[in-house]
Amino acid sequence: MSRTYSFGQFICRTYFRLFYRVKLIGRENIPSDGGVLLCSNHIHILDPPLVGAFLKRQTKFMAKAELFEAPILKTILPKVGAFPIRRGMSDRQALRAGLKLLKEQEVVGVFPEGTRSQTGELSKGLAGVGFFALRSNAYIVPCALISSYKLFSQLKVVYGPPIDMSVVRDNKASPEEATEEIMMGIQRLLDEHRK
């Protein structure tokens, strides 16, 4: 874990604990080693730092390319391991970069919907996530974020057990079908923990 990332984690943890009631569930489901594809629903601009702030391993997020053009972010994002992707997740360079990180046993964070949900409900996932799942031997860990993000409200972060993708891989499923399997895993967490 880089020093910049570790310091960023500290700042983010402090912020979230000061202004929200953070509830973390299932951190033990993040494997301590090996490649991990961490797949979360996307409801707020603060989702990436929230997903990664409380984990022992550095999460390298795939982020929209426009963020790398912003004055401050273009310096910070590469230092914390984030890498750019053009909208739509059909960016071959980004797909290669993500696959390389997974094969190097890193944790790669993605938001399969590709953009924030306006309703809070889970949208259709993009095929790029299924591509990662099929082309790597990484653990596929679903994550559910449940919150209104109103100050001092509860922020619930649920890390589910890794999804068994062996049947999907054995059946030579398409990236779209693999993505559907992952989205169902996220939806199950949302259904279970929204209660």
Q: What is the pLDDT along the chain (195 residues), one digit of tens a residue?
A: 778 788 889 989 999 999 999 999 999 999 999 999 999 999 998 999 999 999 999 999 887 777 777 787 777 777 777 877 776 556 788 888 889 999 999 999 999 988 888 888 898 888 888 999 998 889 999 999 999 999 999 999 999 999 988 888 888 888 999 999 999 999 999 999 987
Count of domains for the chain: 1
Residue 141 structural domain: 3-193
Q: So what's the pLDDT on residue 87? A: 64
CATH number of the domain where residue 129 is located: 3.40.1130.10
DSSP labels, 101-130: HHHTT-EEEE-TTSS--SSSS--PPPHHHH
- For residue 52, what pLDDT is reported? 92
